[in-house]
Each structure stands twice: as structure tokens, then as C-alpha cells.
Amino acid sequence: MGMAHIIYFPVDNHLIFVLVERWRPETYTFHMPFDECTITLEDVAMLLGLKISGAPITGYATMDWGALVQRLLRMTPRKSMLPSGRLRMSWIDQHFSNVSEHIHSQEQLERYTRAFILRIMGGYLLTDHSSSFVSLKYLSFLEDLDVCGQMSWRSCVLTNMYRELCVAMNYDHKEIGGSGILLQLWAWYRFPFLAPPHPPLSTFHVPLGARLVTILLVIDLRINMFRINLYIEELMVFLFL
């Protein structure tokens, strides 16, 4: 997944709130003062590096979720970890960390790969409102990892984002699911005055979103180094006065 190149960065909640306010569910567009605009499949491809071609992401609404987890991850979580066909992500973190210490065979590598992809889905691409669970319906598509990589995840992420934006329009909803990272990267890309300045030049096979995140981390590093240097100068003055 190209998404693996985009490491975590804090989402601007104020920016997301403004975008939700501008969303119109009847047209699936943002109503801006100048015109209407929306997130497209092309945006998802460039920003996140996900595929559009391939089989659609469709499946069963319900099944024996515990048996599915046991078959593909070779572990059986407690029922409290499986409410309504969802898996608590803290369970994944607990049982599938320290990868290098636990992978000694191809079967173990595949199990940890499924858990890693499922964690990315629940934490970044297809989040729910609590940000604590991931739907197990996506795990069923990870049985054959070669086939999984050829499926149309781009359309799945975009469709889910549209639905979550529509749900967030309800007055009684205070959170939004979907991909907050996609929303923020899209706003940065389509409205450059909101983005970190001067993203680095493009790199082949790396999503555009990774460039924007990289420059953001460089800016944060420079700010932190400035603070550290200022602290050292103040400390030296204090010590030698």
C-alpha cells in the first residue's frame, strides 16, 4: 500500500470542522464561496496511493466474526473485544507488536501483515466515530494478500468518506469517521495556502500526501530545534551569571 509511506501526523480538527460545515449531502460536494468542489478518485490516488482498478469491496454484513479472526489471525479475542462485528484496535496493538521477535515462518508473516493492514484501515482509512474499533468485514478481504493488493480500495475509502461526511451533518453527531488524513491532505493540495510551504519534489511510487507530511515534519523539527537552542542559551546564561 502506498499509504504505508504516509506516517502519522496530527489532524487539524478545526479544518475538518469547517469542511464538514461546507458539505452538502444532496450533491456530495463542498459549497465554497467561489464554487462547488469535492474529493475525487484521482485525489485519493495521488494523495494516498491506493488502487482504483480491481474487484469492488463488497461482502457479507454479518458472519461468525470470532471464527474469521481465528482463521486469519490464528488468535481468538474475548467477546468483549468483538462488539457488533468490530474488533478493538488495542487488541491488535497488544498481540501484534514487536514484529521482528515473532515472525519465524511465512504463515506468521502473513498473520502479522493482515493485522498491520487492518490496523491501518481502522486507524487511518476507514475509521469509526470512536477511533477505537475496526470493522471485521474488511478482514475477510485479507485472506489472500496477493488478491487483496489488487482490489479497488480507493473507491472503498472515497465512498466511506462521503457517507461519513453525510452522517456528520446530523446535529446530534459530534465526531466524524472515515479518513481524516484524506480530508486534510485534500484541503492542503486543493487550497495550497493552507498547506506547509514548499513540499519536496515528487518521488516515484510515493503518494503526494507523503511529500506534504514530510515537509510538515521538517517544520516541526526546526521549531523544536529552535526551542532547544533557546533553552540551552537561557541555561548557559543562568549558569554563568
Grid cell 461526511 is found at 165
CB 118 within 8 A of CB 92: yes
**Any domain includes 220:** no
How many domains does the chain divide into?
1
- Helix extents (H) in the chain: 13-22, 41-48, 65-73, 89-95, 99-102, 106-120, 145-148, 153-168, 180-190, 208-240
pLDDT at 105: 85
> pLDDT for 152-192, tens place per residue?
888 889 999 999 999 888 877 777 888 888 898 899 888 88
**Any domain includes 83:** yes
**Any domain includes 232:** no
5: confidence class by pLDDT, cuts 50, 70, 90: low
Helix axes 208-240 and 180-190, enclosed angle (nearest 10): 90
User: The domain containing residue 149 runs over which residues?
Assistant: 8-194
Q: Report the C-alpha gap between 54 and 113 in whole angstroms.
A: 21
pLDDT at 199: 52
pLDDT at 2: 56
Dihedral sign from CA coordinates of 157, 158, 163, 168 = positive
> pLDDT for 19-73, tens place per residue?
999 999 999 999 988 899 999 999 988 888 887 778 888 776 677 888 999 999 9
**Any domain includes 189:** yes
**Any domain includes 169:** yes
